[in-house]
Amino acid sequence: MLLNKGMIAALLAVTFTMTGCVAPPPRERVVYHESSDQGYSEQDHSGRYCHRCGTVRDIDQVEIRQRSSGGGAVLGAIIGGVIGNQFGHGGGRTAMTLLGAVGGGFAGNSVEKHLRTSTAYSVRVRMETGKYRYFTFHEAPPFQQGERVRIENGTLVAG
């Protein structure tokens, strides 16, 4: 019995260690190529406007979910089967092992889905040229709806 408890503790330690090995979602990079004319051009022969400047129209929070690899379900099934095997005798032990494996598989898959979900922010900007541009941030953007922004070195900044 002591050997089984040690085995359970080792499997739990491996499980928590393995959850740290799940790859984070890939980061998307928004790239904007600027022209060499300093971003300004003529507007109706009366003034100038900035190609790199605009106003934030919308900021939407988006949930990014990656497909499950199945590793969480397999690891959960193994751990659940080992724990289930600790209960019952004869045919009851077999039933508890199967029940533990199935329950562990569902739990492991659920944990992996949670770990593979992240939040991003989609920012829609109306540029002074009249065009709309979309930018993705993986953290809350440092500006709000209606605020003036500009593109500097390929990055959207306040101001």
Q: Is the same domain home to 90 and 108?
A: yes
Which phi and psi angles does 105 have, rounded to 5°? -65, -45
For residues 157 and 19, give the distance between their C-alpha atoms in angstroms, rounded to a whole number.
35
Q: Is the same domain home to 80 and 142?
A: no
Q: Is the same domain home to 129 and 91?
A: no
- The answer to whether position 35 is within a domain reads no
pLDDT score for 8: 66
**Mean pLDDT, 10 residues at a time, over the chain (159 residues)?**
60 58 52 43 54 90 80 84 83 84 85 80 90 88 90 84
pLDDT score for 75: 85
CB distance 120 to 62 below 8 Å: yes
For residues 113 and 3, give the distance between their C-alpha atoms in angstroms, rounded to a whole number.
32
Q: Is the same domain home to 57 and 135?
A: yes
Q: Is the same domain home to 55 and 127?
A: yes
Q: Is the same domain home to 71 and 111?
A: yes
CB distance 72 to 109 below 8 Å: yes
pLDDT score for 110: 83
**Three-state secondary structure call for residue 74:** helix
Residue 135's CB is within 10 A of a number of other CB atoms, namely 19
For residues 149 and 156, give the distance between their C-alpha atoms in angstroms, rounded to a whole number.
7
- The answer to whether position 34 is within a domain reads no
CB distance 55 to 126 below 8 Å: yes
- The answer to whether position 124 is within a domain reads yes
- The answer to whether position 40 is within a domain reads no
Number of domains, the chain: 2
pLDDT score for 89: 81
Quote the longest CA-to-CA distance of the chain. Answer: 91
- The answer to whether position 127 is within a domain reads yes
- The answer to whether position 60 is within a domain reads yes
Q: Is the same domain home to 88 and 153?
A: no
- The answer to whether position 135 is within a domain reads yes
CB distance 54 to 125 below 8 Å: yes
pLDDT score for 157: 86
pTM, to two decimals: 0.48
Range of the domain at 104: 67-115
C-alpha 142: how far from chain center:
19
